[in-house]
Amino acid sequence: MVSLFALYRRPADEAAFLDYYRNHHVPLARTMPGLLSLEWGHPSALAPGESAEWYIVAEMRFANRAAMDAALASSEGRAALRDVQQFAGNLVTMRVVNWE
């Protein structure tokens, strides 16, 4: 199992960002072939009084790295990657986790 995490920093206009993310980007990302699940939410800090580093954390799960690579190379995956760069730009960091 492989997960692709998208970590979003807090945008200047949270309401507009969240509306676009929820109503446009997530439905677009969910069209990727081979995507097993896509979950997202707003993280909070563990310790009281600390602020969360990220505004949104999204996890996309795939059966394996080859399935993830194929999904990202598909027309749907390329569209989702273009979209995230257009609306989030330098607010997003992506990481891959290979689960043991």
> Does some domain include residue 84?
yes
- Cβ distance 25 to 87 under 8 Å? yes
In this structure, is residue 82 part of a structural domain? yes
The torsion angles phi and psi of 38, rounded to 5 degrees, stand at -140, 115
Predicted TM-score of the model (pTM): 0.93
Mean pLDDT within 21-43: 98
Report, as an integer, the average pLDDT of 47-55: 88
In a domain, 60, yes or no: yes
CA atoms of 6 and 76, how far apart (whole Å): 17
DSSP 60-83: EEESSHHHHHHHHHSHHHHHHHHH
Instruction: Indicate whether 48 belongs to any domain.
Output: no
What does the alpha-carbon distance between residue 42 and residue 57 come to, in Å, rounded to a whole number?
Answer: 6
Domains identified in the chain, total number: 1
CA distance linking residue 4 with residue 60, whole number of Å? 5
Residue 17 belongs to some domain of the structure: yes
User: Which structural domain, as residue segments, surrounds residue 77?
Assistant: 2-6+13-43+54-98
Q: What CATH code is carried by the domain that includes residue 63?
A: 3.30.70.100
Residue 49 lies in a domain: no
Residues 33-47: tens digit of each pLDDT: 999 999 999 999 888
